[in-house]
Structure 1
Amino acid sequence: MEFCSIASGSTGNCIYIGSNSSSVLVDAGISGKKVEEGLNSFDHTAKDLKGILVTHEHSDHIKGLGVLARKHHLPIYATPGTMEAIRSTSTLGKLDPELLHEIHADEHFQIGDLDILPFRISHDAAEPVAYRVAHEEHTVAVCTDLGYYDDYIIEHLKGLNAVLLESNHDINMLQVGSYPYYLKQRILGDRGHLSNENAGKLLSEILNDDMNTVMLGHLSKENNYEELAYETVCAEITMGESPYRASDFPICVAKRDLPSAAVRL
């Protein structure tokens, strides 16, 4: 199983997950050209994909969706609420109805030999989900754009071998920064984004002996930077109540506009 962040940040998100015979993207929030360049960087092509899993309809998650789907006849998978929002997004252009597949939170579905489980997240979108993808004995998850986490989220992130988890902002940088008050409140709210501190706390709940890779993703361009996210998350893990230290795991920060190293599980 292979796992790679092609882009992850407030300006665009696209994550690759695949087995030897089946592969998907989680979101396509960058241009189709950049998606293809990212795939080529680790010897894959868009025509080999089996579909695109959409977390929600915000532009940084669907910008390249229409182009990729039309060019490569790629099925699109999304919840009913997200699908309705996609259909009404004029910038995506015309989408073939046959390519649109509705899926539901907490209901498994198959794409080739990948078992996929969408699960609910709290974000200010129509019907957003995160995804857990399994192949044989390996499982990875992509979980961004969540305002908070609870026991339901923790349960869906247990037993993973790899995870890309949101570490969106530093609370202090956000509070003293230039964003207008309403936007600060939105980001900090229950339907906003996960802070570095909360990302570390959540990781402390889900780390396990079989965790191979932790990627921190969806960093804010204005209210975070890589070193701060990394250090804050590591400190939360090491000082937390879990039996692990941050140094027990490979932890990296996904780049905003460059592919990460491909992870083989």
Structure 2
Amino acid sequence: MKVSILASGSTGNTSLIETEKHKILMDAGLSGKKIKDLLAQVGVDINDIDMAFLSHDHSDHSKGLGVLMRRYPQINAFANSGTWKYLIDENKVGKLPVEQINTIEPGQVKSFDDLEIQAFATSHDAAQPQYYVFSSAGKRITFLTDTGYVSEKVRDVIKDSDAYMLEFNYDTELLRNGSYSWQLKKRIMSDYGHLSNEQASEVFEDVLTAKTKHIFLTHRSQHNNTLRLAHDTLVNNLARDEIDFNPQLKVIDTDPNIPTDLIKI
């Protein structure tokens, strides 16, 4: 299995997962043209994408999905029923081809050839947010952003993954002292908001094992965080808490506009 975080941040999110038999988009929160260009940068033709999985309805994760489904009929798109209902009822992504709409509900596991996907519910102020563990050829990668906290149930689901794409959204002091309204600050720090650098780092006390070799730091706020703060918080916490991790573990920073390399998991 290979993965590239094509774009990650408050302005738009999308990633690529490859198996031997499938090329999958995880979220589509940029324009169709931008997603096509990002895929090309890692050597993938958008016509080869055959599946897309959507986490929730917010535009920085969903706004390109309708265009992609209409333009590329080979793409089968998956989300839960609550997310589809909201997108369709509110006309958030335009008219969707019915034959390309597929459901996967929280707690479900679905298999396609060499690919298995497990969906799990998260805590965010969207219609019905959920994220996924993708498994293939004995490898697992967890995708998890846009959640105010990570429950014990979710930690059990995602534990012992080979790679994590986890949200490091904000530094608490930068957010508290920043220019956002207090109402917005409360929303971000709430159980239905986002994970801080410290909260995200703390998750790894429970889920990290010697099996894990890649951690992608994602969904970083461009106003309330910095790349260095996010990176150092994780690295320092792993050392401080004496967490037993693989010495080959790589902590990989991501960018809102520049894809990571296509990395073998």
Q: Does 1:16 align with 2:30?
A: no
TM-superposed CA distance for 1:198, in Å, is 0.8
TM-superposed CA distance for 1:204, in Å, is 2.5
Give 1:90-105 correspondences, 5 Å limit.
90-105=91-106
1:67-99 deviations in Å (ceiling 9; x for gaps): 111111122111111111111343522111111
Do the aligned partners of 1:14 and 1:25 also contact (CA within 8 Å) in 2?
A: yes
The residue identity in structure 2 corresponding to 1:11 is T
TM-score calculated relative to the size of structure 1:
0.96
1:37-58 deviations in Å (ceiling 9; x for gaps): 1111121111111211000000
Q: Does 1:215 align with 2:177?
A: no
The residue identity in structure 2 corresponding to 1:63 is K
Q: Which residue of the partner structure matches residue 27 of structure 1?
A: 27
- Unaligned stretches of 5+ residues in structure 2: none
Give the whole-Å Cα distance in 2 for the aligned partners of 1:241 and 1:124. 34
Q: Which residue of the partner structure matches residue 46 of structure 1?
A: 46
Give the whole-Å Cα distance in 1 for the aligned partners of 2:161 and 2:198. 21
Q: Which residue of the partner structure matches residue 122 of structure 1?
A: 123
- Unaligned stretches of 5+ residues in structure 1: none
Do the aligned partners of 2:4 and 2:262 also contact (CA within 8 Å) in 1?
A: yes
**Partner-residue secondary structure (3-state), 1:141:** strand
Q: Does 1:262 align with 2:262?
A: yes
**Distance change in 2, residues 1:27/1:72 (3 Å):** same
Q: Which residue of the partner structure matches residue 234 of structure 1?
A: 235
Q: Which residue of the partner structure matches residue 166 of structure 1?
A: 167
Give the whole-Å Cα distance in 2 for the aligned partners of 1:91 and 1:165. 26
**Partner-residue secondary structure (3-state), 2:203:** helix
**Distance change in 2, residues 1:156/1:109 (3 Å):** same
Give 1:144-223 correspondences, 5 Å limit.
144-223=145-224
TM-score calculated relative to the size of structure 2:
0.96
Do the aligned partners of 1:214 and 1:250 also contact (CA within 8 Å) in 2?
A: yes
1:7-43 deviations in Å (ceiling 9; x for gaps): 0111100011111211211100011111111111121
Do the aligned partners of 2:212 and 2:245 also contact (CA within 8 Å) in 1?
A: no
TM-superposed CA distance for 1:174, in Å, is 0.4
**Partner-residue secondary structure (3-state), 1:90:** coil
1:184-242 deviations in Å (ceiling 9; x for gaps): 00000000000000111112321111212110000011101111110111112211252
Do the aligned partners of 1:19 and 1:135 also contact (CA within 8 Å) in 2?
A: yes
1:141-196 deviations in Å (ceiling 9; x for gaps): 11000101121121111121111000000000000001001100000000000000
**Partner-residue secondary structure (3-state), 2:256:** coil
The residue identity in structure 2 corresponding to 1:239 is R
Give the whole-Å Cα distance in 1 for the aligned partners of 2:10 and 2:44. 25
**Partner-residue secondary structure (3-state), 2:29:** coil
1:85-124 deviations in Å (ceiling 9; x for gaps): 1113435221111111111111111234210001011001
The residue identity in structure 2 corresponding to 1:104 is E
Give the whole-Å Cα distance in 2 for the aligned partners of 1:231 and 1:51. 35
Q: Percent of counterpart pairs with the same letter? A: 33
**Partner-residue secondary structure (3-state), 1:93:** coil
The residue identity in structure 2 corresponding to 1:26 is M
The residue identity in structure 2 corresponding to 1:33 is K
Do the aligned partners of 1:205 and 1:242 also contact (CA within 8 Å) in 2?
A: no
Give the whole-Å Cα distance in 1 for the aligned partners of 2:138 and 2:188. 36
Give the whole-Å Cα distance in 2 for the aligned partners of 1:144 and 1:111. 24
Give the whole-Å Cα distance in 2 for the aligned partners of 1:241 and 1:140. 23
Give the whole-Å Cα distance in 2 for the aligned partners of 1:9 and 1:153. 22
